[in-house]
Amino acid sequence: MSIIAVLGFGTVGSGVAEVLATNGASIARRVHDPIELKYILDLRPQPESPWADRFVTDFSVIERDAEVSIVVETIGGTGAALEFTRRALAAGKHVVTSNKELVAEHGGALLALAKEHGVRYLFEASVGGGIPIIHPLCQCLCANEISRITGILNGTTNYILTRMIRGGLSFESALREAQEKGYAERDPSADVDGKDACRKICILSDICFGRQIPPDQVPTVGIRGVTAQDVALAAACGCQVKLLGRAFRREDGRVSAFVEPHFVPNGDPLAGVEDVFNGIAVTGNVIGDVMFYGLGAGKLPTASAVVADVMDIARGMDVRFNLCWEPAGAELLAPVEEVADVWCIRAEGDPETLEKALPGARRIDGPWAAVRTEPMTRPALEEALSRCAVLGAYRVLNA
Amino acid sequence: MSIIAVLGFGTVGSGVAEVLATNGASIARRVHDPIELKYILDLRPQPESPWADRFVTDFSVIERDAEVSIVVETIGGTGAALEFTRRALAAGKHVVTSNKELVAEHGGALLALAKEHGVRYLFEASVGGGIPIIHPLCQCLCANEISRITGILNGTTNYILTRMIRGGLSFESALREAQEKGYAERDPSADVDGKDACRKICILSDICFGRQIPPDQVPTVGIRGVTAQDVALAAACGCQVKLLGRAFRREDGRVSAFVEPHFVPNGDPLAGVEDVFNGIAVTGNVIGDVMFYGLGAGKLPTASAVVADVMDIARGMDVRFNLCWEPAGAELLAPVEEVADVWCIRAEGDPETLEKALPGARRIDGPWAAVRTEPMTRPALEEALSRCAVLGAYRVLNA
């Protein structure tokens, strides 16, 4: 029997309890052993909960109970979550989490602490909700050198963009709709300003490239600036506007990582990822391109990934599988200013001015002054356009 | 050090040697130990090969060499491959394979034999080439009850259909083009008649539903009958023609499994799977829908999956992870005749006759007599249409 404790009984934490209850019989059969939820740590009492008798408010009860072998951290943030994770690992307990902020900020150190104590720190649910991505990267694609990860990593912004594209809504109306449907928070900034996507591309990059990339060093642009005209321009170019997190290894060995809205050509599988779905494309040197698709958030999908990690540990998977990555090195990150892409540019005025400013640019048909450039960096683009009134500038993925 | 032998040095077998050579350093680092290729079993000598000194023609050399802990079977078929797999497992060696025919026909028995001898039988590469699908199903989605698998499982037929859709080619011309490009064999029947897709949906179904489904009991229709008119009708319905393998659990607990060309609505992520790519959609009771996408065949992608399985074993992953499924039970399979779907029907004559024959059918605009039905089974459809000259009838996925 594996005895677990859940820290934080919000959306994901209660989802974990629900999945263990709903699929308990098949889970026990697959693990060859039942998994028992002994404690729920939460400051808010929930007397109506079917698990009311398991609530505790003092972490040290869990920490001192030798029966508890796995701690599920679904508190979120980097306050109590960090402290309890450290104490649980130090007490020789495995920790499973969905907390992307904590993993993005402190993953390397927590993995090292887990290794030191011979236990595991698993966080499949921290990226892509329930979509299997971290295990496939570490295990199924382990014969590859991964060169590139490109992801639609945030369901809220993808929903807003989809409604702008398909429904003709403005950003503000689409955001309001997302809030009404519960897809966006009342304070939507972690989503719409790209912070959530940034944390996730950092985690994927850490895994693939072996060094912790601090989220605050990853240039991040959200979707507040995307207008209906940009959406129309994308359509005229045979593209969809998508907020992408990208990380890739450059020829000189350095890594570029950034988050910003892109034009994704319709032939690309990421262009078909709509609504609250996420899609993560990975390129390896022997497998070529693969993509993982599914619900990137939500109570049960995220809990599905958390429980799978718990089952991995309960089945006694070898500790040698423990991931680790090294601390950040300032020399690893190549500035996004060096990344050359094809751009689609919309400006005020006449297209001829734009074409003249950008050698090789081709005019885009439509009621705009708009061109498609040759591959170039943003600083080169900005310099060339210093005399133009630019209204929108988007990188075109894989153009 | 893990010492391996490769049986059969064709496309996949030589790809395995190539991946081990190309990515040897990172593989050794990840496994904490190098993997050495000691023997290659092949009847054709290859004196020009960089591995010429490792060729043997007698399996018993490998069988008797206690140093060899992992045997990679890339012979294909159910003749020598079956015999050598049995002997290797009985000799206490782990076996990794890409042989879908062998796994589909004898997977249950070989898994049981592996268990008996305390070794593993792994076959990630048998479905979807390099795409991670079997590990994610068994591990990442293990907290779910899987209810449904729907896959574009054969790259050759998907390439032919894509060329018919995008290039306006006939089936014959598209097949010829696929043969010229090396995507189709000279005798293309295993692909175009759906046998390959059938084996793969059987393997996925065995894993998800726990019982061996014999491929010869799975109704299989290939793509020889798909015409340019069918492709045009699909477009008029907002769909793409795709050859799908489907398996799902019915409410009464029985499983339906079959392979046939479908109309897939453009909003569905499977509609965007083009050319030689594969896509496999899976529905679980807590995760909802996820999809896995990538190259479903080819030397290096397939070898990528084989080598990942070898690395899993070399890293000492616990034998308790061994999958198993029970022998077939005739009572498990529900006849495909009981599966009701919406259909798109094209017929000779006038649409009114069709609409009258099928209560609730809606006319489809275009230069055909064509309707879209309510959900119904094929026998009901055939009975209603017994007096009509039907030219094409396609199930519409998830309609």
Minimal C-alpha gap between B322 and chain A (Å): 10
Whether pLDDT at B41 is above 90? yes
Chain segment B288-314, per-residue pLDDT in tens: 999 999 998 899 999 999 999 999 999
Chain segment B121-135, per-residue pLDDT in tens: 999 999 999 999 999
- Enumerate the residues of chain A whose CB falls inside 8 A of the CB of residue B30: 142
The pLDDT, as a whole number, for residue B387 is 87
**Residue B85 is encoded by which pair of tokens?**
């797999």
The pLDDT, as a whole number, for residue B221 is 98
Minimal C-alpha gap between B315 and chain A (Å): 7
Whose structure tokens read 């065995």?
B206
**A89, A70 contact by CB (below 8 A):** no
Nearest C-alpha in B relative to A316: B318
Chain segment A354-398, per-residue pLDDT in tens: 888 998 899 998 889 999 999 999 999 999 998 889 999 999 999
Sequence length of chain B is 399
- When the pLDDT of each residue in chain B is averaged and rounded to a whole number, the result is 94
Q: What is the mean pLDDT of residues B208-227?
A: 95
Give residues 255 to 294 of A whose Cβ lies within 8 Å of B: 267, 269, 271-274, 277, 284-294
Q: What is the mean pLDDT of residues A344-363?
A: 89
**A369, A355 contact by CB (below 8 A):** no
More confident residue, A329 or B381: B381
Alpha-carbon span B40 to B133, nearest angstrom: 28
Alpha-carbon span B201 to B207, nearest angstrom: 10
**To probe the interface with A, which of B135, B140, B165 has the most A CB atoms within 10 Å?**
B140
Q: What is the mean pLDDT of residues B34-42?
A: 96
The pLDDT, as a whole number, for residue A321 is 54
Whether pLDDT at B341 is above 90? yes
Residue A88 CB-density burial (10 A; 0-12 exposed, 13-18 middle, 19+ buried): buried
Give residues 20 to 79 of B whose Cβ lies within 8 Å of A: 22-23, 26-27, 30, 32
Contact A287 B269 (CB under 8 A): no
Minimal C-alpha gap between B127 and chain A (Å): 13
- Enumerate the residues of chain B whose CB falls inside 8 A of the CB of residue A140: 124, 132, 135-136, 305, 308
Whether pLDDT at A316 is above 90? no
* Beta-carbon count within 10 A of A183 CB: 21
The pLDDT, as a whole number, for residue A352 is 86
Chain segment B263-285, per-residue pLDDT in tens: 999 989 999 999 999 999 999 99
Alpha-carbon span B228 to B231, nearest angstrom: 5
The pLDDT, as a whole number, for residue B318 is 54
From B135, B271, B277, residue closest to A140, measured CB to CB:
B135
The pLDDT, as a whole number, for residue A351 is 82
Give residues 304 to 343 of A whose Cβ lies within 8 Å of B: 304-305, 307-308, 311-312, 315-318, 320-321
Confidence of residue B323 (pLDDT cuts 50, 70, 90): confident
Whether pLDDT at A263 is above 70? yes
The pLDDT, as a whole number, for residue B308 is 94
Whether pLDDT at A349 is above 90? no
- When the pLDDT of each residue in chain A is averaged and rounded to a whole number, the result is 94
The pLDDT, as a whole number, for residue A325 is 86
Contact B273 A273 (CB under 8 A): no
| Whole-number percent of chain A with pLDDT over 70 | 98
Alpha-carbon span B278 to B155, nearest angstrom: 6
**A261, A394 contact by CB (below 8 A):** yes
The pLDDT, as a whole number, for residue A270 is 96
- Enumerate the residues of chain A whose CB falls inside 8 A of the CB of residue B318: 315-318
Comparing C-alpha atoms, which of A161, A125, A157 is closest to residue B287?
A125
Chain segment A147-182, per-residue pLDDT in tens: 999 999 999 999 999 999 999 999 999 999 999 999
Whose structure tokens read 């495909």?
B336
Q: What is the pTM of this model?
A: 0.94
**Residues of A assigned a catalytic role:** 200
The pLDDT, as a whole number, for residue B319 is 47
Q: What is the mean pLDDT of residues B101-128?
A: 95
Strands B277-284 and B342-347, bridge-based pairing? unpaired
Q: What ipTM was reported for this prediction?
A: 0.91
From A32, A136, A318, residue closest to B316, measured CB to CB:
A318
Q: What is the mean pLDDT of residues B210-232?
A: 95
Chain segment B42-84, per-residue pLDDT in tens: 999 889 999 999 999 999 999 999 999 999 999 999 999 999 9
Q: What is the mean pLDDT of residues A289-313?
A: 94
**Residue B58 is encoded by which pair of tokens?**
């007698």
**Residue B297 is encoded by which pair of tokens?**
């065949």
* Beta-carbon count within 10 A of A120 CB: 23
Alpha-carbon span A318 to A341, nearest angstrom: 43
The residue type of B268 is D
The helix, strand and coil proportions of chain B, stated in percent and rounded to the nearest 5, come to: 40, 25, 35
User: CA distances (Å), A342 to each of A90, A224, A259, A399, B74, in order?
Assistant: 49, 22, 16, 6, 43
Interface residue B13 vs chain A (CB under 8 A): no
Q: What is the mean pLDDT of residues A213-235?
A: 96
Strands A390-396 and B35-41, bridge-based pairing? unpaired
Chain segment A95-118, per-residue pLDDT in tens: 999 999 999 999 999 999 999 999
**To probe the interface with A, which of B4, B22, B144, B273 has the most A CB atoms within 10 Å?**
B144
Minimal C-alpha gap between B33 and chain A (Å): 12
